[in-house]
Amino acid sequence: MAARHVITGLLIIVCPISVYGESVKMPPKASLLWTADQQRMVKSGDVSRGKELAERCSHCHGENGIGVEPEVPNLAGQLAAYTYKQLQHYKAKGPRNHNPMRRRVSRLSDQDMADVSAWYASLEPAAPDLSQPSVPEEIAKLVKTGDQKRGLIACAACHGERGEGGPIDTPAIGGQKLEYFITTMQLFSQFERARDVYNSMCNLTTRLKDEELRGLASYYARLGGGKLATK
Ligand code: HEC
Ligand code: HEC
């Protein structure tokens, strides 16, 4: 009797994997679901305490929140809610998998994360990077109107007209590092970075061609950081 239960249990665990096989991508782990308490904590994050905590981040993310290497994202001027959510994603391991970041956040409490997020939100976002090539009209069209045929919603509809970020935790992307931008979009398209609750970035990136992805990265690097949508 007991043995039969064990076998049934094993089948339940193994079946979904063998049925879906490797050809079907499983959605990544669910992302943080906000509670009212967390939102309140992030809104009242302590900037000066956050500044102290961020000293241990600055050899990579810079004193002023501008990443020192191409693959290190800029955090300056980012919406605090978005930064907080990503720190939780690294800590939980799975929604975002990155060992160096996980080590840095593993001992941060929720309050520490709220404070450090408030500090980065208070900094001046990156200036336009005009060393990046200007982009063809079709790229600007993707940003402003999307592409109905492919079911692509305009980037600006969620990320704001100037890439300044949008509702709740939709990140500012204006002025983001080109290399980081491309890598992270690829992670979304391979379903290796957590979706937001609606899965929007994963679905969207799988429909973009490589050259469009590069063009979009260039567009936003050249744009520079816009004004914050919300504090
Ligand atoms: C050793 C270098 C290094 C250190 C130190 C470091 N980071 Fe990072 N951080 C990175 C890299 C590289 C990435 C991009 C990882 C990825 O692709 O997911 C990143 C990503 C992030 C992101 C995601 C940004 C986005 O736009 O999604 C946040 C937020 C962040 N780091 C905050 C911090 C904080 C806060 C600290 C200090 C407690 C810290 N980091 C320390 C290298 C570092
Ligand atoms: C339906 C809303 C929506 C649309 C449309 C959308 N995004 Fe996003 N985007 C999001 C959300 C929400 C996130 C944050 C996901 C998370 O929590 O990891 C995000 C994250 C990103 C990131 C990661 C930022 C970082 O710092 O790591 C980039 C880059 C990005 N989007 C670019 C784009 C581009 C380019 C387009 C247009 C082709 C686009 N997005 C369209 C909602 C959207």
DSSP string of 84-128, one letter each residue: HHHHHHHHHSSSS--HHHHHHHTT--HHHHHHHHHHHHTSPPPPP
Report how far ligand 1's centroid is from the alpha carbon of 73 (Å).
7
How much is the pLDDT for 26? 54
Position 27 in a domain: no
Helix, strand, coil proportions of the chain in percent (round to 5)?
Answer: 55, 0, 45
The pick from 71, 104, 192, 220 for probing ligand 1's pocket by mutation, whose C-beta has the most ligand atoms within 8 angstroms, reads 104
How much is the pLDDT for 15? 30
**Residue 123, both tokens:** 């900094």
Considering the entire predicted model, what is its pTM?
Answer: 0.90
Please check whether residues 92 and 154 belong to one and the same domain.
no
Domain end position, chosen among 58, 91, 121: 121
Total domain count, the chain: 2
Position 19 in a domain: no
Position 76 in a domain: yes
190: helix, coil or strand? coil
Please check whether residues 218 and 142 belong to one and the same domain.
yes
Report how far ligand 2's centroid is from the alpha carbon of 171 (Å).
7
Q: What is the CATH number of the domain that holds 102?
A: 1.10.760.10
Please check whether residues 106 and 53 belong to one and the same domain.
yes
The pick from 42, 173, 177 for probing ligand 2's pocket by mutation, whose C-beta has the most ligand atoms within 8 angstroms, reads 173
CA–CA distance, 152 with 163 (Å, rounded to integer) = 17
How much is the pLDDT for 209? 95
Helices 210-223 and 137-144 meet at what angle, rounded to 10? 80
How much is the pLDDT for 229? 42
How much is the pLDDT for 9? 44
- What is the maximal distance between C-alpha atoms in the chain? 71
Q: Is there a contact between 153 and 146 (Cβ–Cβ < 8 Å)?
A: yes
Position 58 in a domain: yes
**Residue 102 domain boundaries:** 36-121
CA–CA distance, 219 with 223 (Å, rounded to integer) = 6
Q: Is there a contact between 39 and 105 (Cβ–Cβ < 8 Å)?
A: no
**Residue 10, both tokens:** 């094993």
Per-residue pLDDT of the chain (231 residues; tens, 9 = 90+): 444 554 444 433 333 333 333 344 555 566 788 899 999 999 999 999 999 999 999 999 999 999 999 999 999 999 999 999 999 999 988 789 999 999 999 999 999 999 999 999 999 999 999 999 999 999 999 999 999 999 999 999 999 999 999 988 999 999 999 999 999 999 999 888 876 666 778 888 999 999 999 999 999 999 999 764 443
Long-range Cβ contact pairs of 97-103 (< 8 A, separation 24 or more): 97/192
How much is the pLDDT for 87? 96
